[in-house]
Amino acid sequence: MMQMTGAQLMVRLLERQGVRTIAGIPGGAILPFYDALSGSDQIRHVLARHEQGAGFMAQGMARVSGVPQVCIASSGPGATNLVTAIADACLDSIPMVVITGQVPQAMIGTDAFQEVDIYGITVPITKHNFLVRSAQELLGVMPDAFRIAMSGRPGPVLIDVPKDVQNQLITIEEGELPAPAVADSTPPLDMAAIESAAQMINAAEQPVLYLGGGVVASGAAPLAVQLAEQAGLPATMTLMGLGAMPIDHRLSIGMLGMHGARYTNFVLEESDLLIVVGARFDDRAIGRASQFCPNAKIVHIDIDASELHKIKSAHVAIHANVKCALEALLPRVQAKPRERWLAQVDSLRSRFPMQFPGQDDPRSHYGLIHAVASALDDEAIIATDVGQHQMWVAQAYPFRRPRQWLTSGGLGTMGFGLPTAIGAALAEPDRTVVCFTGDGSFKMNIQELATLAEEGLNVKIVLMNNNALGLVYQQQTLFYGKRLFASKYRTEPDFVKIAEGFGVPAVDLDKADDPRAALAEALHSPGPCLIHATIDREQFVYPMVPPGAANTEMIGG
């Protein structure tokens, strides 16, 4: 028999689950948990500077490991500050367990100090959530939270724990502790649907493989590449799917959609069969849904049954773990070179290629990304913030492995980059982690420079500074009669001084005689670094599909 508090039980269950790093910020209602955590010799706590930072650190760890990761906050503002990071994880299907402190149960509903109904607030942005009412309940809730976060389509789960539950004493036998959670088994395969899909692939003249984030999440990237090679399928990737197939693979046709290459969207337009794997037909990927791939039949494979037929009706819909479905599909799909179709794809590629103006000039946006890629190998992890720089990196960086690329796809959260990069470096300290950011995004979680300096992690922030909200500036220029409003900053902070003030070394490429050499030196020195580069505000992201237009109505590029 052992007696412990609810808080000690929570720590014990986290340890047994294999959690080794937690990001968070303490506060009144979560102090019993922090007191218990201080006694753990297995779990390392990383003190963030804003709860949203802690949320994205957990995301960074989860995005590179694929395993649910944990962040912690107190009640009230601590909990509400996590909301954006939770919503972001929900839209990008990132497994995360969020633990918040709550006021004591007797005070719930009294508008107590730092009381907020975080359970109610997070209903629409979590896979599931819990308000724990006794220490005994933790024995079920804690493993359930991890199981739900990692099963099926991954996502965030919130556990709200009132302070009295954390303090409540519970007496249990060692044997009563629940086993660490494992993922639910995958749904049974519909073999008739697999057969139909294989027949459609075998019969298609101009098929295209369409790979989404689910391919990365389920560890199916090698199988997807194998399917493409076996059946001669050109493959496009969504923003979340980048890295599933090496971008320089002969069958890769790059990223589709709003900022995809012209040839990519044209190849899709000509396809007669789309094999959509672990993707959800996001509007930024497919443009106007009714005009997307008008001649194509659709095979749709997804672990989330509610994604099937949601935006586009599939001719064959397969509710399955992507990896299991591809394994079953491979022996049924004929080996075909598809020379005529691939020649047509090559012809479109050479007529409407992705263009990278200024690629050889490290002071230009594409040139800077190119120079970073040239200085690193595929072991580096690349995170971004949100905006023009994000799209340029998605277009130009040579992603060659799954989980190399961390970006806020669904929610598009500015401020995502720095704390996510910190989380990635916490999970994989031996890799170089690059965070491409813009000056607008960087300022949204800039306080995490303090966490970065404290942890001394190998994170290189490449700040592409145009002193503007670049994508807003671009859209106002293109679609709002050049009426530029609230998109240019009137003052400009000295980011080099700011970084140095936080204790992070900084390099200003603007002042470097040889920016390429200065960049390489900064990237290859261990520890954190800010690399500042001014870029031209008049450079826009092209091609661009105007919001609401069909993907073939691209402008520029």
Partner 1 sequence: MIEQVADPLPQAGIAKVVLELDVNNHPGVMSHICNLFARRAFNVEGILCMPVSDGKRSRIWLLVFEDHRLEQMIRQLEKLEDVLNVRRHGAEHEVFERLEGFFH
Binding site for partner 1 (CB under 8 A): 119-120, 123-124, 127-129, 131, 148, 283, 289-290, 304-306, 308-310, 478-480, 546-549
Comparing CB distances to partner 1, the nearer of 258 and 446 is 258
CA angle 404, 365, 253 (to 5 degrees): 50
* SS3 of residue 267 by DSSP: helix
Comparing CB distances to partner 1, the nearer of 305 and 520 is 305
| Helix H or strand E encompassing 309 | none
Smallest distance from partner 1 to CB 267, Å: 23
Smallest distance from partner 1 to CB 475, Å: 9
Comparing CB distances to partner 1, the nearer of 125 and 200 is 125
Comparing CB distances to partner 1, the nearer of 122 and 364 is 122
CB 63 within 8 A of CB 416: no
Comparing CB distances to partner 1, the nearer of 2 and 123 is 123
Smallest distance from partner 1 to CB 64, Å: 27
233-267 in b/e form (b: 16+ CB < 10 A) is: bbbbbbbbbbbbbbbeeebbbbbbbbbbbbbbbbb
Query: What is the CB neighbour count within 10 angstroms for residue 198?
Result: 20
Comparing CB distances to partner 1, the nearer of 38 and 290 is 290
User: Phi and psi at residue 408, in whole multiples of 5°?
Assistant: -85, 100
Smallest distance from partner 1 to CB 433, Å: 34
Smallest distance from partner 1 to CB 141, Å: 11
CA-derived radius of gyration, the chain? 24
CA 146 vs. chain centroid, Å, equals 19
CB 260 within 8 A of CB 392: no
Smallest distance from partner 1 to CB 119, Å: 6
State the Cα–Cα distance between residues 123 and 276, nearest whole angstrom: 29
Comparing CB distances to partner 1, the nearer of 357 and 556 is 556
State the Cα–Cα distance between residues 459 and 506, nearest whole angstrom: 12
Omega before residue 505 within 30° of 0, cis: no
State the Cα–Cα distance between residues 156 and 87, nearest whole angstrom: 8
Comparing CB distances to partner 1, the nearer of 195 and 283 is 283
State the Cα–Cα distance between residues 53 and 58, nearest whole angstrom: 9
User: Phi and psi at residue 243, in whole multiples of 5°?
Assistant: 100, -15
Smallest distance from partner 1 to CB 123, Å: 5
Smallest distance from partner 1 to CB 389, Å: 24
Beta pairing partners, 130: 159
Comparing CB distances to partner 1, the nearer of 190 and 361 is 190
Smallest distance from partner 1 to CB 121, Å: 11
State the Cα–Cα distance between residues 450 and 342, nearest whole angstrom: 51
